[in-house]
Amino acid sequence: MHRGDEGSVPASSATGARADPPVCTPFPTIRSHGASVARSHAYDWLALLLLVAVEGLLNAIEPFHRFVGAGMMTDLRYPLKTNTVPLWAVPIYAVIGPIIVFTIIYVRRRNVYDLHHAVLGILFSVLITGVITDAIKDAVGRPRPNFFWRCFPDGIAVFDNVTTGVICHGDASVIKEGHKSFPSGHTSWSFAGLGFLSWYLAGKITVFDRRGHVAKLCIVLAPLLVAAMVAISRVDDYWHHWQDVCTGGILGLVVASVCYLQFFPAPSDDKGFWPHAHFRYIAERQNESQTRRATELLEAMEAGGGGQ
């Protein structure tokens, strides 16, 4: 019996005995349970709004301007190129794309818990990652590999006669971004969103079913490959050092893993197909059904006794 095809928790024993037949329970849909599920997570949605506000504040403040001297320019004179992956594209492939996948699964399975928790989980993943990333960026203030051309757009370097520190005469906003190299935001966001999607797909296609289907593993690794290519583009465009993208990738993947496991069982788990909330819902329905049957039986026994 496939885990994703029934509405109840499959039971099994260590001896391999056949499990008791599940209680048939219809899946909760957006129409039947959407409002109640959203209300039960009202504080989580408020927390997301707070993360958005913090993220905006971190992008508005001036980062720490780390000292850059004349002798440090060797690794900071790379060309100032445009982004291969523009900033506006990141939320499209890292957030909107995965949400489309979640929606397709919902259309096929009609489980509002799965859709709601997947959307909530990925939003937490990318926003927590974004706040951590930008907080570190502002605190570290590491210059980007193309810092020279941000500081001296005309190519004429000016340094302090005493400290040999740079005296920049470029655009203030461009210089500000020049002090935000570590860690890579494109990379951390990519691994946060696409890493969450990878976890989600692993659970949905039961990649760890011990049947040796390598094609399933390819599907799970595909989002991570996209994230890795984005990370490589950041080095190729000379916007980041290799340490920046490595740290960003690890950060995003760790946060994605924690956020996914907050809402879903591990893909290797027997219940890895649906979120934790789905199985709580099934257990509650089963308990209600058993209580109702017990009550009906007791009433029938009392009615029979009274008739004698």
Active-site positions read: 186, 240
**Three-state DSSP class for residue 165:** strand
Cβ atoms of 130 and 55 closer than 8 Å: yes
Rounded Cα–Cα distance for residues 194 and 197 (Å)? 5
Greatest distance between any 2 Cα atoms in the chain: 110
Rounded Cα–Cα distance for residues 268 and 203 (Å)? 7
Cβ atoms of 175 and 168 closer than 8 Å: yes
Cα 101-185-130 angle, rounded to 5 deg: 70
CA–centroid distance for 64 within its chain: 28
Cβ atoms of 141 and 63 closer than 8 Å: yes
- Which of 127, 166, 155 is closest to 47 using CA atoms? 127
Rounded Cα–Cα distance for residues 192 and 186 (Å)? 10
**Three-state DSSP class for residue 168:** coil
What letter would DSSP give residue 44?
Answer: H
Torsion of CA 248, 254, 259, 265, to 10 degrees: 150
